[in-house]
Structure 1
Amino acid sequence: MASMFATQDASNIANENPVNLWIRLKFEERLDKTMKYYTSKMVIVQIIVACGFSISELSCGINYSNQCPMEPAINTFLVAHGATKFAWIFLTILAIADARLIYKKMNRKSLARRLMLINLVFQSLFAVWFFSWFIAGNIWVFRNKNRYQSNDPTNTSTYCYGDLYQAASLLISMEYVGFIITFIGTVKRRFISRRLKHAMNNKVKHEIMA
């Protein structure tokens, strides 16, 4: 049975349009690299950091509810942003399970690629939603920076509980720092990977020529 499917697959590849075959193989190569990424330690670190941010945002947003009459949307931002992050964490855990179990351990690569593609579509949608809330949070928090005060609760046009406002400002600032660190780490990793690949290719060429 297995040999029959293998023969069928080989026949399909042989009959496939060369351009379509090249596109499919490149697409599968990208998904395979994604699988490798989701088996790395960096993803685990990102989940742990994201959990810390998410718990902090939800805690501040819920515990300090209705304590920022100056800008009530700050509480909404913290709760929605923290909940969205938890949704991303859930999707990331599913991606890790797909890469480690279905792709690597069970060796069902075709199924794993399809599941990963679906996961990436949902992650992209959540990324757009997450980014939208992050921009909105920046506006709601920092546009009130110069007029916010935490001493007179009776002046509702400028009052916001100090711990809430400072926590929201700090969390947004730390998000920027985390993004910069992740971006630098990703660029560095890809640069080193390309350099190593280039060095290995040169080594192989020299050995063949020798």
Structure 2
Amino acid sequence: MTDIDVIQSIRSKPQALASSKMVVCVIPVAQIIIGAIYLDDCPRQHYIPIYLIVAGVFGLVLAALSCQPSGSTPEDGTPNPLSRVCATWNSLTAVFLVCWFIAGNVWIYSIYKPNYIKNTTSEDPYCDRTLYLFAFWTTTLVYILLALSLVGGCCSLLCCCLCGRADADDNV
């Protein structure tokens, strides 16, 4: 079974598509909840809970926009304007999320190992442990997934090149 067959089988089964969208929405919902609960609990870097809330909301928006029909031409051959509008908003949301992710990296990693103790007499402001570690690991998870996808893509490319050479030798 090829990758195209897998994608087509997922698209043909709306339950599989809906359940995969639900899994993708878990992290953004958790970001919104954690950011809202601990909104005032990081004086060291007060943008971290805001970062989580905005990233969660726009993550959900991106997931909702990807649910829209992607066919650019219906059966009668006329272009579908809704498809173009959704594609434009999808692209704008993705660009915003990349920029917001970069800003979040600065806010999170610049205070690495913050003071977690709320009632301290030191001049170093605190940041709630749950809030900071959640933001830290969700951001780090993006890098881990990016690295895994790059390694997987390179392995796939290597396999395609090797299999392509084997097929060319067989035809000679």
Q: TM-score, normalised by structure 1?
A: 0.59
Q: Matches of 1:197 and 1:111 in 2, distance apart?
A: 39
Q: How many angstroms apart in 1 are the aligned matches of 2:50 and 2:30?
A: 14
Residue ranges of structure 2 left out of the alignment (5+ in a row): none
Structure with max Cα Rg: 1
Q: Which has the higher helix share?
A: 1
Deviation of residue 195 (structure 1)?
7.9
Q: How does 1:1-210 map to 2 (within 5 A)?
A: 39=8, 41=10, 44=17, 47-94=21-68, 97-99=69-71, 108=75, 110-111=77-78, 115-146=82-113, 148-154=114-120, 157-185=124-152
Q: Which moved more, 1:79-88 or 1:153-162?
A: 153-162
Give the drift of 1:122: 1.9
Give the AA of the match of 2:30: S
Amino acid at match of 2:105: N
Query: Are residues 131 and 110 of structure 1, via their aligned partners in 2, closer, same or farther at CA, if it must alter by over 3 Å?
Result: farther
Report the number of matched residues.
163
**Which deviations, in whole Å up to 9, do the C-alpha atoms of 1:51-81 show, x marking residues without a partner?**
1221121111011110111111001100000
Distance in 2, matches of 1:39 and 1:115, equals 23
TM-score (norm 2): 0.71
Cα deviation digits, residues 59-106 of structure 1 (max 9, x gap)? 110111101111110011000001110011011111xx435xx87xxx
Partners of 1:37 and 1:167 in 2: how far apart?
33
- Structure 2 distance, partners of 1:164, 1:57, is 9
Percent identity between matched residues is 20
Contact kept in structure 1, 2:42 and 2:127, CA below 8 Å: yes
* Aligned-pair Cα RMSD in Å: 4.1
Q: 1:69–1:157: 8 Å Cα contact kept in structure 2?
A: no
Give the secondary structure class of the aligned counterpart of 1:47: helix
